[in-house]
Amino acid sequence: MYLEFYKLHEHPFQLTPDSDFLYMSESHARAKAYMDYTIWNRDGFVVVTGEIGAGKTTLLQKLLSEFDDTAAVAKIYQTQLDEIQFLQAVLVEFGLSPFNASKVELMDMLSTFLIDSFLQSKQLVLIVDEAQNLSPKVLEEIRMLSGLETQKEKILHVILVGQPELNEILDSPEMEQLLQRVRLRCHISALSDRETRDYVYHRLRVAGAGDRLLFDADVLPMVYEYTGGIPRLINVLCDMALTCAFTDRTPTVTVGSLKTAIGELQWKPYSERVKARVRLQKASGKNRELRHLIEENSKRLSDLTERLGRLNEITPLLSNIANGISTIERTLGRIAVSRNPAMNQKAAGPGPQKKGSQKSL
C-alpha cells in the first residue's frame, strides 16, 4: 500500500518471522550465541525464554538458515501433544514414518536413527518452540532423549524455546532431573528505548529505505512508550503509522501520524496495559478459585442429594422389614407361651381360691 510512496521494496514491519529482518539486540545476540555453542560444541541442552512477541521464533529461523547438509533437525512447533504423538512428530521431522507403532517401537526407531546418524558425523538437533505447553510426560521423554551420549559427546542437542512460564515449570521440584540436563539458559528481554529506535531504523534499511529517516526523531520515544520494546508490537504500531502517514501523504511519520495510529489501534501506554492485565489476571485467579469452590461444593451437594435419594428409596423397605420383625416377635411369643405351661398360667393370671384353703389364725 505504501511501498511505492516511500520507495520501499518490502514491508518493513511484517509480522511473519523473517530472519532477514532480525535485529540482534544484546539479549538476542546472547541467546543466539548460547544456541550456537550448544550445537557446534555438542554440549547438549539449552533453554531460551522470552515474552510473547519478543522475537524467539525469528531467532530460531535465523539459526535454521545457517544449518547445512551435515545437520539433521527436527522442529516441533505444535506442542499440544501427548508423549506418543510427540515421538511420532519428532520421527516425522527426521524423515521417518512412525505411524501405527507402539511406544517401545517408536523409542527403538528414534534411538537407532540418532545413533546411525551420529556415526555418519551428523549434527542432530531437536528444536521445540512454545515449549511451555509441553506436558510433564513429554518433558520426561525429552530428558530421556537428551541422555543419549558417547563417552565424550552428546548425540542429540535440544533447544527448548518458550514463554516465561517455561522457567516456572523447569524450576518445579518435579523437573529436577530434567533441569540438571540443561547446560545453558537465557531470557530474551524486551528492547530498551535505544534498541527500539535502532530496531525501527534497521528494519527500514533492510526494506530499502537506506539512510532515509522515515520516522521523525520525536516519534520513536512514543513508539517505545506504547510498545514496551516488544518487537511484534513495534511492528504492529509502525506499520499502522506508515499507513496513516501515507493516507495523509506526509513524507515521514510524524507525531500526528503516530497518534492517529494509536487511536486506530485503541492502545493505551504499554505500562498501563500491563497493569490492567495484571489486575485482570488477579481477578481471573480469584474467579477461578471461586469457580473451583462452587464446583467442589456443587459436587458435594450432588453426592449428598444422590445419597438422600437412595435413602428415600430404601425407607419403605426398612419399614417393611421393621413390620416383619414385629410380626416375627409376636409369633415367637405365642409359640413360647404355648409350649411352656408355667408361662401360659402366668400369662392367664391367678385363678379363684378354694374355700377353707386359708388357715384360721
Residues 10-42: pLDDT tens digits?
999 999 999 999 999 999 999 999 999 888 887
Between CA 153 and CA 269 the distance in angstroms is 49
| Predicted pLDDT of residue 164 | 93
Helical (H) or strand (E) element with 188? strand 184-188
CATH of 193-267, one of 1.10.3470, 1.10.8, 1.10.150, 1.25.40: 1.10.8
| Predicted pLDDT of residue 132 | 94
Q: What percent of the chain has pLDDT over 70?
A: 91
| Predicted pLDDT of residue 294 | 80
What are the grid coordinates assigned to 297, written together? 461444593
What are the grid coordinates assigned to 178, written together? 530434567
| Predicted pLDDT of residue 342 | 59
Report, as an integer, the average pLDDT of 211-219: 93
| Predicted pLDDT of residue 288 | 65
* 336-360 pLDDT per residue, tens: 777 766 555 555 555 555 544 444 4
Query: At which residue does the C-alpha cell 518490502 appear?
Result: 10
User: What amino acid occupies position 71?
Assistant: A
Residues sharing a CB contact under 8 Å with residue 63, sequence separation 6 or more, in sequence order? 32, 35, 36, 127, 159
| Predicted pLDDT of residue 357 | 47
Report, as an integer, the average pLDDT of 221-244: 97
| Predicted pLDDT of residue 267 | 95
Computed over every residue of the chain, the mean pLDDT equals 87
CATH of 26-188, one of 3.40.91.10, 2.60.40.1660, 3.20.20.210, 3.40.50.300: 3.40.50.300
Between CA 91 and CA 85 the distance in angstroms is 10
Helical (H) or strand (E) element with 319? helix 270-339
pTM over 0.85: no
* 312-345 pLDDT per residue, tens: 777 777 777 878 888 888 888 788 777 766 555 5
| Predicted pLDDT of residue 307 | 74
